[in-house]
Amino acid sequence: MVVRLARQNPPMQSVRLLDPESGLDGVIAIHSTALGPGAGGCRFWHYADLGSALDDAYRLAEGMSYKNAMADLPFGGAKAVLRQPDGPFDRAALFRAFGRAVEELGGLYVTAEDVGTTVADMRAVSTRTRHVAGLDPAGDMAGGDPSPWTALGVFEAMRTAARFTLGAELSDLTVAVQGTGNVGANLCRRLADAGARLIIADIDPRRRNALGAVLDARIVDVTEIMSVEADIFAPCALGGALTSQSVAGMKARLVCGAANNQLATADVAEQLVDCGIVYAPDYVVNAGGIISVSAEYLGEDRASVAARVDQIGPRIGEILELARREVRSPALVADEMAERIITQADCRAA
């Protein structure tokens, strides 16, 4: 059922998953195991063809290597991408088959939830392998929904970045939040508690209206949220929000949010610098979720998660400081830091 593939640029190991009986069809991509087993969630999505699923898996696995390295976790980067079958299928059977594939890798890859997968799916996976997290928490142990930890990390990063770039506390600032889902809503509550003024947008009217009423937030259309008069823009919806067009119309001076892969293209990082907008690198800001998931896998408690999430603010401070000193994009500074950590681990292992 599993066939190993290899890719040269970037170098990547991948495993093709195919089980016609259950409908399992996808790939596990492993970018790096220099720091430990490759860890990254399992995405379950409609992909037109295997090529687009592979591209997504490679891109996401590479991103996980950087995120795990910068969060100081003993894990490399990997990702599973499964194609959602077009016709009817037995979901539990498909995820059990996926669990068998993860088990065949003998701990080289650790999985958890991602877009399109749930705790119930991970329970099905856990019947076939122990290399899975994102299950139900027990007592004080780490586990369960990682999004509150992600939101806490974003909040701490934003507070540090606001002091550094705007010389102000959140209580004196207006934050525009794009996407009021699991992470965005939790972040908004924290920001409201801290006294920040909120402007929010979501394509789902139920989510934005309920939150807007409770937090006294101004609600705007999704087409306006990136260009409203705000000090900070917090992308908490899907990736690719920062395009050359959206950045050109942005009034906020700081971008700090939860979404993965916020830069639609690499050149947007330079455009942000040219426009005087400070960008807090997404994978450093949003590491709270993987910190929780990895602690669960390692059998650590919630206090360990809190201690690691506490480091996100200072790490963002360090990146912004270096970027300012060298007049470079914080995105490039973070990438180089992550690459150094991975290369040093590779050298130690050699």
Point out which residues bind ligand NAI (CB under 6 A): 146-147, 150, 178-184, 201-204, 207, 222, 236-239, 258-260, 286, 289
Specify the DSSP element, H or E, that contains 110. strand 109-110
For ligand NAI, the closer CB: 228 or 273: 228
For ligand NAI, the closer CB: 19 or 121: 121
Q: Which residue's entry shows tokens 């399109």?
A: 116
Q: Which residues pair with 197 in a beta bridge?
A: 174
For ligand NAI, the closer CB: 220 or 273: 220
For ligand NAI, the closer CB: 150 or 165: 150
Kindly state the smallest distance separating residue 326's Cβ from ligand NAI, in Å: 27
3-state secondary structure of 208: helix
Kindly state the smallest distance separating residue 203's Cβ from ligand NAI, in Å: 4
Burial class for 335, CB neighbours closer than 10 Å (0-12, 13-18, 19+):
middle
Q: For this structure, is 79 an active site residue?
A: yes
Kindly state the smallest distance separating residue 297's Cβ from ligand NAI, in Å: 15
Q: Do the Cβ atoms of 191 and 211 come closer than 8 Å?
A: no
Q: Which residue's entry shows tokens 């999430």?
A: 309
The residue whose Cβ lies closest to ligand NAI is: 181
DSSP string, 122-182: HHHHHTT-S-B------TTBS-S--HHHHHHHHHHHHHHHHHHHH---GGG-EEEEE--SH
For ligand NAI, the closer CB: 212 or 289: 289
DSSP string, 41-83: -EEEE--SSHHHHHHHHHHHHHHHHHHHHHTT-S-EEEEEEEE
Kindly state the smallest distance separating residue 151's Cβ from ligand NAI, in Å: 8
Considering the candidates 79, 83, 96, 131, report the single residue annotated as catalytic: 79
Amino acid at residue number 127: T
Picking from 265, 275, 262, the residue whose alpha carbon sits closest to that of residue 234 is 262
Active-site residue numbers?
A: 79
